[in-house]
Amino acid sequence: MKTSPIEAKICGLNDVASIDAAVANGASYVGLMFYPPSPRAVTPEQARELSSHIPAAVKKVGVFVDPDDELLQSVLAQVPLDLIQLHGSESPDRVGAIKTLTGLPVLKAIKVANASDLDGAGVYDGVADMLLFDAKAPKDLADALPGGNGLVFDWNLLSHRQWQQPWMLSGGLDAGNVVQAVGIAGACAVDVSSGVEHAPGVKDPAAIKAFLDAVKAL
């Protein structure tokens, strides 16, 4: 199947049906969540089984939030990941240490509410292999997660910005707004989680297809 020039990542997959939908409809990346408080979390054992349904052409991304070395090593002993996504408050030094430990490229999430949040992204130049810009949850949001809250930030903040590494747009995307988001932000890759769910942590294969179809139309 033809892959869109705009790459898409479907994140927080935790069942075979949603992985099959992502793969069949042209996702470039699938995200497996190793953060127990998330409703999308999987164990290393579950992830190993799910990974067997993901072809080599689709990159398997392990999503972590301020992980310690033990967790990373435990997951990698069982799951053949291609990329590490760090969605916590990891410093540039910690990102570098995780790259050395795992031998894998790192996608670092930057949480965005205003332009000043983007100004700090440069500290990851030469360290992170990719950046992901996600909406920062407001402090008064009950039960907020590090990501996957379905929140949108001002895509104009990213317009005309440039970074040394490739970057991905996230935060409240769905089939109905992804075309507009890419047009404004200029993203070459997009990431979705809650926007293809019908309940927290429960993916909707039809919504996955609709999102990927919208991306292909770009």
E strand spans, 11-120: 29-33, 59-64, 83-86, 106-112
Quick check: is 119 catalytic? no
**Set 82, 134, 174, 191: catalytic member:** 134
Rg (the chain; Cα; Å): 16
> 1, 25, 44: which is closest to 192 by C-alpha?
25
The C-alpha atoms of residue 196 and residue 137 are separated, in whole angstroms, by 19
User: Could you tell me the sign of the dihedral formed by the alpha carbons of 174, 176, 181, 187, in that order?
Assistant: positive
**Set 11, 93, 117, 140: catalytic member:** 11
The separation between CA 60 and the C-alpha centre of its own chain, rounded to angstroms, equals 11
At residue 93, what is the residue type? D
> 209, 211, 199: which is closest to 40 by C-alpha?
199
**Under 8 Å between Cβ of 184 and 156:** yes
- Helices 16-24 and 205-216 meet at what angle, rounded to 10? 20
Quick check: is 188 catalytic? no
**What amino acid positions are annotated as catalytic residues?**
11, 134
